[in-house]
Amino acid sequence: MAAKEELKLLGVDVSPFAIRAHMALVIKGVSCEYVVEYLSNKSELLLSSNPIYKKVPVLIHNGKPICESLVIVQYVDEIFSGDGVPSILPTDPYERAIARFWAAYVDDKFFPVLRGIVLALTEQERVEKATETFAAIEPLEEAFAMCSKGKAFFCGDSIGYIDLALGSLLVWIEAIRRMYNIEIISASKTPRLSAWAERFGESAAAKEVLPEVDKAVQFGKMLEAAASAAAASK
């Protein structure tokens, strides 16, 4: 990256979407200014950079904002490329399409039910959301076998696009285990993903970016309380 270029990443350290964008930069060996946002008091920079969704993450590259985490990851992969620089998306068009499909599955199918466990208002609702989450993780166990082709990660020997999409949720998967004793990824039910999660957590990028699980637990309790308060006020 040229010296004149400027990079800012607006994020929240426990946001899985900010985590994946930050990890993409780390994988590429690119440094940035990480600007912590407080979602109860969003900055003018965030509101002006992402006026449509008003959410993190936002990557600001030379004054130009890029929004939505998977869009940011793709942008980072394209802009910061070259000899010796790891690729995040596969180079083969078909494999690249498959990677995009499963990353979208993580966001559209898996994340909403996982989040629903934390936001559940009753124990029965939480059990139902946990059941839905177990059902949603099963295709990802099979997808790993198909996409990895026996290698360490979804996209091969190193962390790639699907790995970032799902791996950014691991801190929340562990937080849910601690908060509610609900184990989404386990050696008994999802052995491939269980081994993958250990490898992902031991990677240099994960160690640099992933927050302490206690922070996610604390944030999860805040979300739980806010959901209960909102329901009580209706």
Per-residue pLDDT at 2: 44
Per-residue pLDDT at 105: 98
Per-10-residue mean pLDDT for the chain, 234 residues long?
76 98 97 94 97 97 98 98 95 97 98 98 97 98 97 96 98 98 98 98 97 97 94 89
CA distances from 116 to 176, 185, 190, 218, 220 (A): 11, 17, 21, 17, 11
Per-residue pLDDT at 4: 60
* Residues contacting residue 146 through CB under 8 Å, at least 6 positions apart: none
What is the Rg, in whole angstroms, of the alpha carbon atoms belonging to the chain? Answer: 18
Per-residue pLDDT at 158: 96
Across the beta sheet with 33-36, the strand order is: 33-36, 7-11, 58-61, 64-67
The CA angle 220-221-227, to the nearest 5 degrees, is 90
Domains of the chain: residue spans and CATH: 7-79 (3.40.30.10), 93-225 (1.20.1050.10)
Residue in the block written with tokens 């060996």? 29
Question: Mind listing the pLDDT tens digit for each residue in 78-128?
Answer: 999 999 999 999 999 999 999 999 999 999 999 999 999 999 999 999 999
Per-residue pLDDT at 227: 94
Rounded CA-CA distance 232/56 in Å is 28
- Residue 39's nearest CA partner among 23, 50, 25 is 50
